[in-house]
Amino acid sequence: QSLDPEIPAILAGHVTVSQATTSSEQSMMLGRDHVLLKSAVTLPQLDYVALGHIHKHQILGMLPHVVYAGSLQRIDFGEENDDKGYCVVELDPSRLQGDRMTSFEFKQVEPRRFLTIDVKVDASDDNPTDAVVSAIQRHYVDDAIVRLRISMPVTQKAHLSDGDIQEALSPAHFVASISHEITERPRTRLAGAYGRGLSPQQALRRYLDSRQTAPDRADALQQRADELIAEQGAE
């Protein structure tokens, strides 16, 4: 109410306004922010509302324009596909209060690239490393910040060559992470194995093999089992 109606008025605020959308990563960081209702900043006395704090560019209102310009750079993978830039606004002081904006334009810039590569390796792939490298080569990784997510059965994990994968990613500016999601684990049904003709020692050996136990440890466990069975028989 104290604003001079003869002078253009711009509100600039580094705040969170209701109805603003964020990246998933940023949403977690904004949990304790005080949130203003959009009606608190959409006032007829204002000619433009320039907001910061939310990284995603968006227009929340038109009379007046309530705008988050957004960050000039991408900060995390939640912003991987977000356009980045700045706003150019022109006001005409000779026009009436609340109607002075004559032009608005969002100018895009070239921000750092974030790139997520998802690869699914099948159990039937003869060379899982080649499958991953081929997937990487289908993307333009040069100078990007990259995360690689590999989904595969556990039987293929030992056949991956980390060195070859790192080499394929070497043109990237930075490799943020290489993660492995195990989609299936082999299970050997051992319940009742002894009753189907396997001795306790044979059932134990089959179990250790299914768990891919190191040979030295498997031999030690087998020896200890033999000793326990012998002691039980002696009693």
Closest by CA to 144, choosing from 102, 176, 187, 105, is: 176
pLDDT (tens digit, 0 to 9) for every residue of the chain, 235 residues total? Answer: 688 889 999 999 999 998 898 875 554 455 567 889 999 999 999 999 999 999 999 999 998 999 999 999 999 999 999 999 999 999 999 999 888 999 999 999 999 999 999 999 998 888 999 999 999 999 999 999 999 999 998 888 888 999 999 999 999 999 999 999 988 665 555 555 554 667 888 888 888 887 778 888 888 888 888 888 887 766 6
What's the chain's length in residues? 235
As a whole number of angstroms, the distance between CA 42 and CA 26 comes to 24
How buried is residue 150: exposed, middle or buried, by Cβ count under 10 Å (0-12/13-18/19+)?
A: buried
Q: Report yes or no: 96 and 126 within 8 Å, Cβ to Cβ.
A: no
Domains of the chain with CATH codes: 10-108 (3.60.21.10), 114-182 (no CATH), 194-234 (no CATH)
**Measured torsion, CA atoms of residues 54, 51, 111, 150, in degrees rounded to the nearest 10:** 10
Instruction: Give the closest residue to 58 by CA, choosing from 99, 106, 90.
Output: 106
For residues 175 and 121, give the distance between their C-alpha atoms in angstroms, rounded to a whole number: 20
